[in-house]
Structure 1
Amino acid sequence: MSFWETITGSDLTRQWKVFEARAAALPADYPAAWEQIKGNLLPYAGFTGRNLMPIIDAALGLLEEASVDGQSVDEVLGDDIPGFCAALAGGAGARTYRDRWREQLNANVARKLGRLGG
């Protein structure tokens, strides 16, 4: 990965296109699950989303293996796809970008109030 790819994110775009091509080759009931997985994993992304690429690759690999084995989406993911995605991202209590931003905002407000009160 070159410096330019890192700055522009073109490597991520290429990788994402490969993921989408792999997902398009899945059987009929899998694309809907893939869309739900993407939607539920994106809140756990960092600023660039690079941290999610291995997780998304693993989730897609799981769907591919399950389709080859003839398993249904429900057998693989269960009925709680958001919970499945939270577990993939680091557990049910995994911090999202919203949590990080909230902590940063609270720290900034506390710092400002500390200056005003002191």
Structure 2
Amino acid sequence: MRIQDIIKGKKEWRAHMARVKALPKDYQIVYKEIQKYLFKVGPIELANGIGLFSGIVDLFEEGVALGKGVLEVTGRDVAAFCDDLIKDSKTYADTYQESVDQEVNKAMKKVTNKIK
């Protein structure tokens, strides 16, 4: 990654976070929880930019403009809202599960070959 890309990424993130800080407090709280959740279980492509987070802020800004409370936008189950956002994305959990399956399969082949 080039220095210019890093600088551009930081500028984009700062601008994004300025949008978040402009939201009402309840929206900011829910956004931060969504952000934590997605960083823990979220899709691999989160590492490639702020696209998903920017979309969430767009949705939140629209909710504010319509006079809705944040839970009217996300629903009461915010984790389910997050899961729905990433349902078609490959997550770190998926990658880890695949890795575990591969290791178990390798180990089982070794055991099976020793028994023969």
TM-score normalized with structure 2 length? 0.78
How many angstroms does 1:25 deviate by? 0.6
Flag the 1:95–1:115 CA change in 2: closer, same or farther, 3 A. Answer: same
Aligned to 1:111: 106
Unaligned runs of 5+ in 2: none
Unaligned runs of 5+ in 1: none
Counterpart of 2:19 in 1: which secondary structure? helix
Amino acid at match of 1:76: V
The CA RMSD over aligned residues, in Å, is 2.5
Counterpart of 2:50 in 1: which secondary structure? helix
d(CA) in 2 for partners of 1:116, 1:9: 48
Note if contact 2:27-2:60 (Cα within 8 Å) is conserved in structure 1: yes
Larger Rg: 2
2:17 corresponds to 1:20 = yes
2:28 corresponds to 1:31 = yes
How many angstroms does 1:9 deviate by? 5.1
| 1:53 counterpart (45, 50, 54) | 50
Identity of aligned residues (%): 24
d(CA) in 2 for partners of 1:88, 1:30: 17
Flag the 1:110–1:86 CA change in 2: closer, same or farther, 3 A. Answer: same
Amino acid at match of 2:100: L
How many angstroms does 1:45 deviate by? 2.8
Flag the 1:14–1:112 CA change in 2: closer, same or farther, 3 A. Answer: farther
TM-score normalized with structure 1 length? 0.77
Flag the 1:102–1:46 CA change in 2: closer, same or farther, 3 A. Answer: same
Note if contact 1:55-1:89 (Cα within 8 Å) is conserved in structure 2: no
